[in-house]
Amino acid sequence: MPIVQSAITIVLFILILGGLVVIHELGHFVVARMARIRVHEFGIGFPPRARTLGSDGETLYTLNWLPIGGFVRLEGEDGDSDDPRSFTRARLPVKLVVLVAGVFMNLVLAFLIFFFIAWLATPLVGVRFTEVQPDSPASRAGLVVGDTVVSVDGQRYDAFATDGASAVLVDLRARAGSEVTIGVKHADGTVTDVTTTLRSPEEIDASKGALGIGGLSFAFDYVQQDIVTALQVAAQRTVDAFLLIINGLGQLVSSLVSSPTTAPPVSGPVGIAVQVGDVFWQLGPIFTLYLAGLLSANLALVNILPFPPLDGGRAVVTIIKSMAGSRLSVQAERLTYLVGFVALFGLIIWVTFFDIVRQVTGGATP
């Protein structure tokens, strides 16, 4: 079973990450075609080529053996072409729009994922328990093993909110000594409200919580929201994802500069694959889809960074080349992209090394 589970995890990771990259490249492709820039090839996966899917007379559509992502091959994208429809001969605004189109597509995809989850299947979290302590607020309120606390004073908890699942326990502890109304979902699916007075702060210790329940685990109910609320939630989720990723990038730079021999606070491809598997098998498809939304936002933000050969870096080089004219040679441009690629590849190897170490050592790092 672990082998089958691992195989499914790998396929799922390829589908998610590969799909996000293909969507990214589709943005470049569509905008380039709209701008009448010649597109030689749109490939799913990376070479070597497995088969040709067809051609529309100008663009060749291919399926390639390396399954992560895809690519678009534009005429003159390397900065050298006499074709009037080449990328290098397009006007500067057109070039910039083509370059940021992939970022825009990933950003839109992240928003749409967050929107559909909020609209159709928002996960609300509750706390299930397998122990009711004697003479506790829980026992006096009639709670029994198998019940789930789903609300506190009418407040239900979005699993994707800042505090997530722990917010239920945090709110119970914050109300220590007070009378509260607790929404309880029973084993038969019915929900009732019960009122009880929680233990005082002085009574709470490592073995006694505010309510007096133990053997805790999280359970989820999925609810629908109206479209307006879902749009607002999706917008906020997209902003939160960007802030989370910006914070992670800051920590990565700090770790790289201050302590390059210790594990960075981010994951590479191996770590992401493990996270996808953990989320899918432990939390299910909705949480996996949410993770895909986070990864799409991540791909958008990372690609807009002004670092060659990322889209943001290519945009900066394109602007500089427009200002410098022939003073910036094609060879210098290519060298810039090559140096950037080597540096980026080295960073990925560095992060992946620690991903592998975490898996081999069970989380410990040297």
* DSSP assignments along 121-149, one per residue: -EEEEEEE-SEE-TTSHHHHTT--TT-EE
Q: Please state, for a pLDDT cut of 90, what percent of the chain lies above it.
A: 70
pLDDT at 318 over 70: yes
Write the DSSP assignment of 304-347 as a string of letters.
TSS-TTSHHHHHHHHHHHHHHGGGS-HHHHHHHHHHHHHHHHHH
Q: Name the band, by pLDDT with cuts 50, 70 and 90, for residue 200.
A: very high
| Mean pLDDT over each residue of the chain, to the nearest integer | 91
Q: Could you give the CA distance from residue 54 to residue 57 in angstroms, rounded to a whole number?
A: 9
213-226 pLDDT tens trace: 999 999 999 999 99
Burial class (CB in 10 A: 0-12, 13-18, 19+), 21: buried
pLDDT at 365 over 60: no
Q: Name the band, by pLDDT with cuts 50, 70 and 90, for residue 332.
A: confident
- How high is the pLDDT of residue 363? 55
- How high is the pLDDT of residue 256? 82
Conformation bin of residue 36: beta by default, left when phi > 0, alpha when psi is -120 to 50: left
23-70 pLDDT tens trace: 999 999 999 999 999 999 999 999 999 999 999 999 999 999 998 889
pLDDT at 252 over 90: no
pLDDT at 182 over 50: yes
Burial class (CB in 10 A: 0-12, 13-18, 19+), 110: buried
Q: What are the sequence ranges of the domains in the chain?
A: 2-120+260-361, 123-223
Residue 216 in contact with residue 133, Cβ under 8 Å? no
123-223 homologous superfamily: PDZ domain (2.30.42.10)
